[in-house]
Amino acid sequence: MIDKINWQRYEDFLERLNKLAFSLNELAGRIIKQLINLTHAIFSAYSKIMESKSVFKVFRFITFPLHWLWIAVWRWSIKPKEKKIPFDDEGFMIITGIPGAGKSSLAFEIMNRSLALYGKPWYINSKMERPKYNDIEQIYYRNHAMYEFKDFWSDGKMHERPNNLLFGGMVIEEFHRELNYRESNTREYKDVFVPFMDYLVTVRKSIKRIIALTQMNKVDVQMMNVACHISEVKINIGFNYPDWLLRTGAFKLQPLGFYIETYTVVNQLSGGYEKGTIKKWYLKSKYTDWDTFDTYAEKDDYNHIPLHYPAATKKVRITKWVGNKLLIKY
């Protein structure tokens, strides 16, 4: 009997608790609705004030000093999501380094960072980005667009303008192969250099950013003059513990970041140059999936040329592989 009474009390308690929760939920809904209506009314009134310049001017004065709160909110709303880096600058930039220093890897990180923050892919004249597969569309795709340098600049003219509405910038891989300043007196060089240089001086008004990658410590002196800065890079490769622990579980080494020395160019009367303002900084890699990067993208560039087989006095004939040894019969 006592158990039945206790159970009834328990059920009554649960029912009262349920009614209380329902009432609180209704109250919260009414409060939220009133707040939404109040916010809408405030913004509507503000919009009407903004429509009248004379009224808005008076409104700015009578709200002193509270209007500084609005100004602070506005300034916070336009603040960049990430701290600005030198490669966010508009203009022509050069990245140098010895083979294997990480020039292409750094460029790939810059491109992916720009895509993530500003929503625009880049132009790239290299196959450094491996195609990815879309299961829904059942197609292979790349985030960034490939191009041929001479499709834009050749034969003494510019054929098309890089599309700054769709793309955030342009990377020129192996720049010294496109414009080798040792050939500056040849017609072939000038047919490419003249239209490209003409575009380069207005790059901030068009594609905004062009980054040239080269192993050379200098390029054509005119291009050095228009470059907003030059960066020397050294890649930092290591074990990505967060990636291993939280995502892939793969034991592998990959780029963790880049040690960078960025400097401006100061021209000398002798025709040479020296480093100006120098900034040493580190860029952490956090926007790139390195499984999509192909560090040997240019390995097939000479596959169209016949492969050489050594021969002393007789023709060499390759017979077969045995284990990891190649048996050659003369």
Pure H helices in 94-202: 103-118, 149-152, 175-178, 187-200
**Containing H/E element for 227?**
strand 227-239
- Rounded to the nearest 5 percent, the helix, strand and coil shares of the chain are 40, 25, 35
Which pLDDT score, from 0 to 100, does residue 319 have?
A: 56
Q: What is the pLDDT of residue 313?
A: 47
pLDDT for residue 184: 86
- Amino acid letter, residue 96: T
Which sequence spans correspond to the domains of the chain? 2-77, 86-292
Local structure of residue 311 (DSSP, 8 states): -
Architecture of domain 86-292: 3-Layer(aba) Sandwich (3.40)
pLDDT tens-place string over residues 41-79: 776 776 666 666 666 677 777 777 777 887 777 777 666
pTM of structure: 0.71
Confidence at residue 174, expressed as pLDDT on a 0 to 100 scale: 93
- Calculate the alpha carbon distances from 291 to 110, 112, 257, 294 in Å: 16, 13, 15, 8
pLDDT at 40: 74
Give 10-residue mean pLDDT values along the chain (330 residues): 64 79 83 82 68 68 78 72 88 94 96 94 94 89 94 94 94 93 90 94 93 89 88 94 82 93 80 78 94 85 79 54 60
Tokens of 156: 């003494």
